[in-house]
Structure 1
């Protein structure tokens, strides 16, 4: 086992042919900062060029996958997806979308925002029985991200996707499994071992056959890049809106937002 490397809030560990990229900011519920996106992107990018690595696992800490973007860090430098200089979040998105090697998500506990939408671009996803899933974009006066406005309805159907993307409902692990957001659910104490068992089995298979099979299944990825840019433009517009200002103010004041004056 290699010693962990990378930024303090992201640990990168190689166990044989499996690379584990782990959120490591439990005190902040693994809320993701720009530095963390950069570290995760680097972990994925270097896995692509390392012949010894055949599978990547994205995991969190005990009971927390990620609470999504760190709101204060996010507001310091609001990202413009598909614009000039590539923000760290887009670099991570592109690294995950462009990964030629299998990526497996290992979700234990809280998964919010991008903690849910990144699952749509993994090849396999597994959760603990205490996991919960929520995409509160509309609640924050924002719009979906990372191609989720098309990819999620393609997986679960538009009506069901609206539970997450419009209503902002919280799904438990059993509903996530029933609607194919995750492949399987395990007791929290068994989750990582079960994920590693599958990662190691995948890593033992013919690497070129695995990569070519993945490429055939993800041929539509270019359309997702286009959609990401469209979503990003709408996201940026909402970040500059009075609706978003009210949502953030309400969040900081620990009260429900009042959108009654908008429309």
Structure 2
């Protein structure tokens, strides 16, 4: 695996064709998120989102875990004004994942605790090994949660279940995570990355403009149904005037796979 020029190796970067793999690389601490990692990860996601040749991302962790959450060894009591830069840096990662146009697949093995669980849930697709373990875990250290968990968790499992998991956190295995909706697919232990790469390759072959529109539309704040319909009209009519749409129609008539180029 490689790294972006000038970056520390807390995040490894590897391109596999049009798929960019970002690997959290603190395996000795189960990829716990310290301040450096969140800054480097945000920069890596932003850079990937701006690369035309990158069509999809896979986010995973080195070693035995996806991410065990915030690095508690770096935490201490401090005034809110001092804690704010740390929190803002964490949210920068989530904004990059949500606001970027490229689809992101999380490959979860081992622990996905606290901020690690929230990081996985911020991705567009979550592939989990059957023996992976999810937990919100924030209240265990007297915190409520961040990294988008108050949006991503209820969006996936509903507000009532999200309330219970945030207030009474428990450990959830990969198979149960799939059944609850925390994960979108479950694999044999050790198989999450391969499955996530296969999914990302399918996404990378899809129409970039349409996939970006799906992300943008689903991430909009909820509004009245009429406003949703108006936005759908704007998005759909805009996509009608793209080379990708013309290629999709032509491929359908020619009975061949479409080749989308994001134009």
What TM-score, normalized to structure 2?
0.76
Cα distance per residue 1:5-33 (max 9 Å; x no partner): 43222111111111111111111111111
Q: C-alpha displacement at 1:149, in angstroms?
A: 2.7
In structure 2, the residue matched to 1:245 is: none
In structure 2, the residue matched to 1:31 is: 32
| Stretch of structure 1 that moved more, 9-18 or 70-79 | 70-79
Larger C-alpha radius of gyration, 1 or 2?
2
Mapped pair 1:153 → 2:154:
yes
In structure 2, the residue matched to 1:106 is: 107
What TM-score, normalized to structure 1?
0.76
In structure 2, the residue matched to 1:171 is: 172
1:99-248 pair list within 5 angstroms: 99-220=100-221
CA contact (8 A) 2:110 2:132 kept: yes
In structure 2, the residue matched to 1:89 is: 90
Q: Tell me how large the CA RMSD over aligned residues is.
A: 2.6
CA contact (8 A) 2:122 2:148 kept: no
Q: C-alpha displacement at 1:91, in angstroms?
A: 2.1
CA contact (8 A) 1:110 1:133 kept: yes
| Stretch of structure 1 that moved more, 206-215 or 34-43 | 206-215
Q: C-alpha displacement at 1:100, in angstroms?
A: 1.5
CA contact (8 A) 2:2 2:12 kept: no
Quickly say closer, same or farther: Cα 1:78–1:34, change in 2 above 3 A: farther
What 5-or-longer segments of structure 1 have no aligned partner? 223-263
CA contact (8 A) 2:3 2:9 kept: no
Aligned pairs, number: 221
Q: C-alpha distance in 2, partners of 1:201/1:96?
A: 19
Q: C-alpha distance in 1, partners of 2:203/2:60?
A: 17
What SS is found at the alignment partner of 1:19?
strand
CA contact (8 A) 1:164 1:170 kept: no
Q: C-alpha displacement at 1:89, in angstroms?
A: 1.6
What 5-or-longer segments of structure 2 have no aligned partner? 224-263
Q: C-alpha distance in 2, partners of 1:221/1:41?
A: 26
Cα distance per residue 1:97-147 (max 9 Å; x no partner): 212111111101111011111233211110011100111111211112133
Quickly say closer, same or farther: Cα 1:166–1:206, change in 2 above 3 A: same
Q: C-alpha distance in 1, partners of 2:185/2:211?
A: 21
In structure 1, the residue matched to 2:237 is: none
In structure 2, the residue matched to 1:3 is: 2
